[in-house]
Every structure is written in C-alpha cells, then in structure tokens.
Homo-oligomer: A and B are copies of this chain.
Amino acid sequence: MDQTEARGWLGTALAEARAGLGEGGIPIGAALYGADGSLLGRGHNRRVQDGDPSMHAETAAFRAAGRQRSYRGTTMVTTLSPCWYCSGLVRQFGISRVVIGEAVTFHGGHDWLAEHGVEIVLLDDPECVDLMRTFIKHHPDLWNEDIGE
C-alpha cells in the first residue's frame, strides 16, 4: 500500500495510544479501516481504565466497528505488533492487511499472519517505539500482565 496513506492511518492509532496513556493506561492504539478507506472503528487498550483484560487496542477497534458481514479488504492499523490474541482475531475474521507501528519492543504474531496471506506493512515508527519503551521501563509489571508473562 501507499506509505503516505499507511502513515496517515497510523496517526489515528497513535492518537488512540496517546489518549490511553493520558488516562493512565497502556499506550497501544488501533484503528480498523474499510476497503474503501473509511474509518470503521478505533480504540485503545483498556486493561487499566476498565479493568478489562479482553480490550487490547485491536479488539477495542474491532468492537467499535460493530458487526460487519465481511472484513475482506479491511486494514487493522496498530501502534504495536499484534499479540497472538489479536493476530488470531485478524486471521479468524479475514482482515486483509495489518499496518504496524513497530515490532521492536514486542514481536507478536505478524510473521504467522504473513504466512497465512495477510499483507503486513511494518513502519518502524520512532514515536511508537518511544511510547512503549518509556511505558515498559516505568510499568514492567503492568506490561507483563498485559501479555501474560
């Protein structure tokens, strides 16, 4: 896909990540875009805010998009490489593409998704890396809880 468009969409996910950080939460954001480029849903990790371990950024964006008959052609944009839980979401529902802010601080299941035909766009965005590096440094227990380690 077009890198300028990918970076524009990442901006939506980054705004979500910053909002989560501002609420005292884990700074990971995501957005689901339709095949026509329209924004279907956006969200951020809500473990701390709602005491809800099921709301990772990607699942929050997926939920916000509501019921969809098909995910063909959709793109999940996320500030961080998706964990197995969120990678499973992408595979099960047939989301076509994943745009990833960074996979330096955490390497999830995106290689597995690529093997199963999902288009992966890895942006290596310095702001995404910085958000997570700073967060993990100050809240290692919370981060480990969020990834089940």
A: residues with CB less than 8 A from B are 47, 51-54, 59, 62-63, 65-71, 83-89, 91-94, 109, 145, 147-149
Assuming A83-B88, A85-B88, A88-B91, what are 13 further A-B pairs, CB within 8 angstroms? A51-B67, A53-B67, A54-B63, A69-B145, A84-B89, A84-B91, A84-B92, A85-B91, A86-B88, A87-B88, A88-B89, A93-B148, A94-B148
Interface centre among A47, A54, A93 (most CB of B within 10 A): A54
Q: Which residues of B contact A83 (CB under 8 A)?
A: 88, 92
Q: Which residues of B contact A67 (CB under 8 A)?
A: 47, 51, 53, 145
Copy tally for this chain in the complex stands at 2
Cα A53 to Cα B67 in complex, Å, equals 6
**Interface residue SS majority, chain A:** loop
Tell me the minimal C-beta distance from A82 to chain B in angstroms: 9
Q: Which residues of B contact A69 (CB under 8 A)?
A: 145
Cα A112 to Cα B94 in complex, Å, equals 18
- The chain B residue with its CB closest to the CB of A71 is B148
Cα A83 to Cα B147 in complex, Å, equals 19
Cα A47 to Cα B47 in complex, Å, equals 21
Interface centre among A63, A71, A84 (most CB of B within 10 A): A84
